[in-house]
Amino acid sequence: MLALGTQAFELLREVKDYAIYMIDPEGTVLTWNDGARAIKGYSAAEIVGQHFSRFFMPEDRTAGRPARLLQTAREQGRVEDYAFRVRKDGTRFWANVVITAIHDEAGAIRGFVKVTRDLTERRTAEHLLRQSEERLRLLIEGVKDYAIYMLDPKGAILSWNAGAQRIKGYAAGEVLGRHFSMFYPEELRYSGHPERELQIAQETGRYEEEGVRVRKNGERFWANVVLTPVYEWDGGPLRGFAKVTRDLTERRAAEEAMRSASEQIQLERLRTEEAQNALRARDEFISVAAHELRTPLAALLLKIQGARAMVVRQREGDPASAPPKVLDRLESALGQIGRLTDLVQRLLDVSGIVRGKLVLRCEEASMSSLLRRVVDDLSDALAKAGCEVTVNAPGAASGCWDPSRIEQVLANLVSNALKYGAGRPIELRVEEDGDDVRVLVTDHGIGIRSGDMDRIFGRFERAVPLDNYSGLGLGLYIAKSIVEAHGGSIRVASAPGQPTVFTMQLPRRPAPAAQVSGSAVESSS
């Protein structure tokens, strides 16, 4: 029970932060202080003698709140109220009101002391804080790309957001209260890694790492994790940790794909380089070998030719003196030397073409005549292979070409026809087509699969087993190089079991543009 004399009110008159005044048992204002004036806006003269219910909101007045408060204070000695009150100018403010009953010595009620505090500012600040906390909470809860959740100081999970559910696969109810080490692979859990993270975060203010985590379904994923300690207030006790986890699986997969792609490219580059080096080494070897073979071969040819001349002379002098069959054998040796010289020449041609040293000596020539000469030269071989040859070359089909090189091409095509189409007829045809001349070589041999048709014009490329058909795989390469140096083209049409048709097409006059890839055209016309 409180008893306050008027003297005490004198002391309180100047208190500014609180409205402190007395009301009589019915609620009429008896005293007024500076604080009351500042908070409510009335001067003492205006308000003393008025009923205190005028400070209440109209709806509170209607509801009988003023009388109820006094009744409670009367019964319990004291009542506290938080509510809006109204100032003189009609504006409202959030108030904390304490009403204390005052009794006289006999215990009869003398009135009440009212202490009112204006909480508007505090309330606004608290309200704003609550609002922003709520907004932040909603925001965090809604984030789907990041798992964001709180841990208590020991690592127990306190909150869970949509991202956490999406990334880790657990619903909030399955994880709240559990230790966050549940997201770590066993080996990390046993080594105390999760606890170490908390410790480092606390010691240094932050912990970040990229590492493996485990989803509810047991799947491991690559994650970026940031752990930040949260304190009650600056310098206050540890409240827990905020943990943000990002799923980097996709980024990692992309990085890995990039890495393996670039490794693959690197590997391919190395392989290509190796292959090119091997090709260069082979070309060099061929060139050196061909040059080295040429000299002894020329010497051998001279020796055998010399021996044959001696035998012929000896025979002329004394036919009986010459051993039987020597001449035949020397002739056959000369034939073999001729073939060997041919092969060496091909190798020299190839290394010349590779080095861009194919020189054409062009002069007027008739394609039909060149073709007939080739057939003539090969007549023995054609007969041996059992190939009947038809030549269809009505006109001269003349042009300006390197005759020996063109003969080389034709000889190659006809030799192939008899090699791959032995025992079957061969048709040769020369066509004139304006500025172009065409030669078609058709055989009815083994044919060529479509997948091999481009390849066989490459260096050392063959589409038949060496056991069945001997050869270096250089003839078509040389033929193509010669034809292209003339500005022409060579192609093939075939299929297994179908006729094979090689077509060489040449312009009658090689254009200057034909002097490509290091080849040179010299013209005598």
Given the complex with ligand ADP, which of 370 and 448 has the nearer CB atom?
A: 448
State residue 429 phi and psi, 5-degree precision: -140, 140
Q: What Å distances lie between residue 287 and 274, 355, 462, CA to CA?
A: 20, 10, 20
| Residue whose CB is nearest to ligand ADP in the complex, by number | 471
Q: Are 172 and 157 in contact (CB under 8 A)?
A: no
Given the complex with ligand ADP, which of 15 and 463 has the nearer CB atom?
A: 463
Given the complex with ligand ADP, which of 93 and 477 has the nearer CB atom?
A: 477
Given the complex with ligand ADP, which of 211 and 473 has the nearer CB atom?
A: 473
Q: Is 37 helix (H, G, I), strand (E, B) or coil?
A: helix
Contact footprint for ligand ADP (CB under 6 A): 412, 416-417, 420, 443, 445-446, 448, 456, 462-464, 471-477, 500
| β-sheet with 359-366: strand ranges across | 398-401, 359-366, 520-523
Closest CA to 18 of 45, 38, 47, 44: 38
Given the complex with ligand ADP, which of 225 and 418 has the nearer CB atom?
A: 418
Q: How far apart are CA 261 and CA 264, in angstroms?
A: 5
Residues sharing a CB contact under 8 Å with residue 479, sequence separation 6 or more, in sequence order: 408, 409, 412, 413, 457, 490, 504
Given the complex with ligand ADP, which of 481 and 505 has the nearer CB atom?
A: 481
- State the minimum distance, in angstroms, from the CB of residue 305 to ligand ADP: 28
Quickly count: other Cβ atoms within 10 Å of residue 339's Cβ: 9
- State the minimum distance, in angstroms, from the CB of residue 473 to ligand ADP: 4
Q: What is the 3-state secondary structure (H, E, C) of 392-418?
A: ECCCCCEEEECHHHHHHHHHHHHHHHH
Given the complex with ligand ADP, which of 336 and 498 has the nearer CB atom?
A: 498
Given the complex with ligand ADP, which of 102 and 441 has the nearer CB atom?
A: 441
Q: What Å distances lie between residue 388 and 131, 332, 377, CA to CA?
A: 104, 25, 15
Which class for 213: exposed (0-12), middle (13-18), buried (19 or more C-beta within 10 A)? buried
Torsion over CA: 341, 346, 352, 358 (sign): positive
- State the minimum distance, in angstroms, from the CB of residue 448 to ligand ADP: 5
Q: Are 153 and 239 in contact (CB under 8 A)?
A: yes
Given the complex with ligand ADP, which of 79 and 478 has the nearer CB atom?
A: 478
Amino acid at 216: K
- State the minimum distance, in angstroms, from the CB of residue 490 to ligand ADP: 11
- State the minimum distance, in angstroms, from the CB of residue 350 to ligand ADP: 11
